[in-house]
Amino acid sequence: MRIITIANQKGGVGKTTTAINLATALAAIDKRALLIDLDPQGNASTGLGIDKDDREISSYDVLKETASIREAAMPTAVPNLAVIPSTMDLLGFEMEISGVHGRAYRLRDALHFHQQDQADFDFVLVDCPPSLNLLTINAMAAADAILVPLQCEFFALEGLSQLLQTVEEVRDSLNPMLGLHGIVLTMFDSRNNLAAQVVRDVRSFMGEHVYETVIPRNVRVSEAPSFGKPAILYDMKCPGSQAYIQLASEVIRREGRLVAA
């Protein structure tokens, strides 16, 4: 089981879209995937068609140790893909648990407690809230590696050093094995000259950490969540879906190298 946390403290950069579609693409190539929604907004849960009323057991229960991963995982319309949905209860988590020993390890402990649960999944993707709060720290402490979506816009790199600094701190204090899986450029608009410049800048700054795959801005991708479907299910042929399928194979290739290292 490999755990990849999708994080960026900026909102609207494509974290949730990447989590949903990467998980779907991995499931489509026969990897058993689990998406854990750690954002109180619950966009990943909604985008996978889980209605608010159906979220009886949520990621909050997992963090509060009232449910196991296996108990909380719900099937989705995508074969091989399960989701642990989130609820607004998550908003209270940080306050409720302040001062409690091991509070940053709640997700890691849940993922590692039951040996059988580990055998259930090949990939666990964690979708983070747009903040470097205790939920994101839990997701980083639990992860083998971080995947960072960056939107192709002028301020793309702003905030990246703070994010990488946090990854460094988590590695020093909580999770020495934490790696940077890679940076994926999202919402690329080929008609915008600036976007191509941003891609060049990010590549020259972050080198081989940046995936070759760039996700194009694609209206089909933004429509899909309102149908409760991953873009890959809603319109597999659209350029955005195809890019996420390509990203999945790049992630798998990189996995081979990360595991060997």
Question: Considering the complex, what minimum distance in angstroms separates the CB of residue 115 from ligand ADP?
Answer: 32
Considering only 2, 55, 106, 217, the residue that binds ligand ADP (CB under 6 A) is: 217
Residue 15 or 55 with smaller CB distance to ligand ADP: 15
Residue 14 or 42 with smaller CB distance to ligand ADP: 14
222 binds ligand ADP (CB under 6 A): yes
65: which 2 tokens?
Answer: 């140790």
31 binds Mg ion (CB under 5 A): no
Q: DSSP for 45-96?
A: HHHTT--GGG-SS-HHHHHTTSS-HHHH-EE-SSTTEEEE---TTHHHHHHH
Say how far apart CA 143 and CA 126 lie, in whole Å.
Answer: 8
15 binds Mg ion (CB under 5 A): yes
Q: DSSP for 137-200?
A: HHHHHH-SEEEEEEESSTTTTTTHHHHHHHHHHHHHHT-TT-EEEEEEEEEE-TT-HHHHHHHH
| Total of chain residues touching Mg ion, rule CB under 5 A | 3
Strand-pair partners of 245 = none
13 binds ligand ADP (CB under 6 A): yes
Considering only 148, 187, 198, 248, the residue that binds ligand ADP (CB under 6 A) is: 187
The entry of ligand ADP, Mg ion, none near residue 76 (CB within 5 to 8 angstroms by kind) is none
Cβ proximity of 215 and 20 under 8 Å: no
Residues that bind ligand ADP (CB under 6 A): 11-17, 43, 130, 186-187, 215, 217-218, 221-222, 225, 240
Which residues of this protein are in contact with Mg ion, per CB under 5 A? 15-16, 43
